[in-house]
Amino acid sequence: MVAPLKVGLAGLGTVGAAVIRLIRDNQAALAARCGRPVEVVAVSARSKAKDRGVDLKSLRWIDDPVALARDPGIDVFVELMGGEGDPAKAAIEAALGARKSVVTANKALLARHGAVLSALAEQNQVALNFEAAVGGAIPIVKTLREGLAGNSVTRVYGILNGTCNYILTRMEQEGMSFEECLKDAQRLGYAEADPTFDIEGFDTAQKLAILASIAFGTKVDSDAVYVEGISSIASADLDAAEELGYRIKLLGVAVKTETGIEQRVHPTMVPKDSAIAQVMGVTNAVTVDAEGFPPVTLVGPGAGGAATASAVVADIGDIARGTRVAPFGRPSAQLATAGRAPMQMHEGGYYIRLMAVDKPGTAATIATRLAEQQISLESIVQRHRGPEGGKDARAVSGPVPVILVTYATTEDAVRRALAAVKRDKVITGEPQLIRIEKNR
């Protein structure tokens, strides 16, 4: 009989407990699919007394996760503690140094230290698997790293944060404000008490950096990602998107350009007939553009105990089968230092919402400033508000919302034009700027 693969697991939160249950509930099927049994034999967590809804009596308890990582009684170390530093980093380094394969869901650690850990895994001829770090149950890491190994990827983009997608969905479908949707998401457990990491795009940025590395054969560089969140999105923007045939999503986009790899996270208008526009609620989705065939879109639950545990156990299963591939798709020594494509060079269409001063010459001034930067308009919509009729209506109406949609232009040109418009004092407040990502 083939000896079982013995797993040591550090971190017994929602995901950790779900991993133990999944392995126990599917022991026979897992052994049949992997060619050997898989057993969790030892665990580590902050509190031994906490009730996690799973029986731990048969498992060895080791207080120090680093000691668990080195334990001679385990074959695989599963890290589910989180955080880009210690103890997660120290424990993973200890496991790899002890020639034990590692499975982790730790996007923050990989986004910051992925290249170093990859090299350490290769040096010790063990696996470093992290499907659960990006997209939950969506097998996007395996798809990019193995399924598309023979294809040249030109763009990868997606909805990588369920909290933001939930908020934007509720805002669109129910006409709620951002603040109302955020409070509801917190009540339901979709958003943290401090939601900054999610709603300002940083969670998506870490995941995007990992995908970009695999897609383009570059070192993980989370500092290269341009980041904007969704807190500035208003109901007026969602209404305008609907009229224009778009839907607003927080996207992470990595694309190969002539000037380097462009990595960006920001609210984006996507055509309503695109696959990614149909993804609503807490669901995630990733689209891959590769040469030779139409875009491929993967959709599924991006978070939660069951979804993340599914990806973790799939990674353990690969190790049980004896499958080992370079963590980021190619040997770490061959990962290039990507040239960063500056955001100012980004080219595409733009949605711009201005609060224009309602006086003669305002529209002409705005048009002149856009023309100076060679920006062509696809459409322009002006919406008067305030009292209608009467000779004093214009005087009391206040600023007028003006919506512009540009043809393809550069970020730099748009920023220059809007700066000039502000100097002319024909608008109030800050312009709203949303990029448009069209199908290719």
Give the rounded distance of the alpha carbon of 198 from its chain centre: 9
Give yes or no for a cis peptide into 87 (omega within 30° of 0): yes
Beta strand pairing call for 400-406 and 347-356: antiparallel
Q: Where are the beta strands (DSSP E) in 190-245?
A: 226-227
- CATH number attached to the domain at 346-436: 3.30.70.260
Write down the pLDDT at residue 345: 84
Identity of residue 430 = E
Topology (CATH) of 5-137+307-331? Rossmann fold (3.40.50)
CA dihedral 223, 227, 229, 235 (to 10 degrees): -170
Write down the pLDDT at residue 203: 96
Buried b (16+ CB within 10 A) or exposed e, 139-175: bbbbbbbeebeeeebbbbbbbbbbbbbbbbbbbbeee
Residue 192 token pair: 């943290």
C-alpha to C-alpha distances, 84 to 107, 196, 321, 369, nearest whole angstrom? 8, 17, 29, 45
Task: Say how far apart CA 207 and CA 199 lie, in whole Å.
Answer: 14
Residues of each domain in the chain carrying CATH 3.30.360.10? 147-300
CA dihedral 190, 193, 194, 198 (to 10 degrees): 0
Phi and psi at 65, nearest 5°, equal -65, -30
Tally helices (H) and strands (E) across the chain: 15, 17
Q: DSSP string of 138-205?
A: --HHHIIIIITTTS-EEEEEEE--HHHHHHHHHHHHH---HHHHHHHHHHHTSS-SS-HHHHTSHHHH
Residues 6+ apart with CB under 8 A from 352: 403, 404, 405, 406, 414, 418, 431, 432, 433
Write down the pLDDT at residue 123: 97
- CATH number attached to the domain at 147-300: 3.30.360.10
Residues of each domain in the chain carrying CATH 3.40.50.720? 5-137+307-331
Write down the pLDDT at residue 341: 81
Active site residues: 207
3 state DSSP class of 392: coil
Identity of residue 125 = Q
Residues of each domain in the chain carrying CATH 3.30.70.260? 346-436
Q: What value does the CA radius of gyration of the chain take, rounded to a whole number of Å?
A: 25
Identity of residue 195 = P
Task: Provide the residue-wise pLDDT of the chain in tens; the chain has 440 residues.
Answer: 689 999 999 999 999 999 999 999 999 999 999 999 999 999 999 999 899 999 999 999 999 999 999 999 999 999 999 999 999 999 999 999 999 999 999 999 999 999 999 999 999 999 999 999 999 999 999 999 999 999 999 999 999 999 999 999 999 999 999 999 999 999 988 888 999 999 999 999 999 999 999 999 999 999 999 999 999 999 999 999 999 999 999 999 999 988 889 999 999 999 999 999 999 999 999 999 999 889 999 999 988 899 999 999 999 999 999 999 999 999 999 998 877 788 888 899 999 999 999 889 999 999 999 999 999 999 888 765 544 433 444 444 588 999 999 999 999 999 999 999 999 999 999 999 999 998 76
